[in-house]
């Protein structure tokens, strides 16, 4: 079984990957109040910047809106990227950065409000083990590609492209925007 299956959060995302959803969390959904907006992202980890860039280029072939793809990783792993927002979480071993956009803005707000690690910032949106899994990927030099999703067809296309691009893990996550 691919490591990617371990981070499937939704039954439909697992079906796209051709796998069963995890028994402990088959259809996790976010319940929102009327004044909140949900943003959905596919998040994939890549062991090289060239693989991450290739995945992003492949995603662009399906007419993605500008700014719908973000890279998150250690500053050294993202050294070739321009327009980076530094994310100096005090308790992370390496300086982190993210390309400008919704993900970077949200993480910067968490940093400004006292988050000490990437994991603690992500844990406000994700279950703790997924937040830890993403933090460990970044600490191991991997680059996280965040792809904003707009509908179920977009989700299926993004998931398929990320898996075929050779990511080491992939999951679909909902973030609530207040």
Which 3 state secondary structure label does DSSP give 74? Answer: strand
Tens of pLDDT along the chain (178 residues) come to 234 333 333 333 333 334 444 444 333 333 333 334 778 999 999 999 899 999 999 998 877 787 899 999 998 898 766 689 999 999 999 999 999 888 999 999 999 999 999 999 999 889 899 999 999 999 999 999 999 999 999 999 999 999 999 999 999 988 766 4
pTM: 0.77
Question: What are 48's two structure tokens?
Answer: 């090289």
CA distances 99 to 16, 17, 83, 163, Å, are 28, 27, 6, 22
């Amino acid at each position: 079984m691919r490591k990617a299956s371990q981070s499937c959060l939704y039954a439909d995302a697992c079906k796209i990957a051709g796998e069963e959803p995890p028994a402990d969390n088959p259809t996790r959904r976010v319940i929102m109040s009327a004044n909140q907006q949900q943003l959905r992202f596919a998040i994939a980890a890549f062991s090289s910047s060239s693989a991450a860039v290739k995945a992003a280029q492949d995603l662009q072939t399906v007419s993605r809106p500008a700014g719908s793809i973000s890279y998150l990783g250690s500053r050294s792993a993202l050294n070739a990227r321009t327009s980076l927002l530094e994310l100096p979480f005090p308790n992370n071993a390496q300086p982190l950065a993210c390309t400008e956009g919704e993900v970077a803005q949200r993480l910067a707000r968490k940093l400004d409000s006292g988050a000490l690690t990437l994991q603690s910032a992500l844990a406000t949106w994700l279950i703790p083990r997924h937040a830890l899994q993403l933090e460990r990927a970044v600490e191991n030099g991997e680059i996280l590609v965040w792809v904003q999703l707009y509908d179920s067809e977009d989700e299926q296309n993004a998931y398929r492209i990320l898996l075929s691009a050779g990511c080491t893990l992939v999951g679909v996550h909902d973030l609530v925007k207040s």
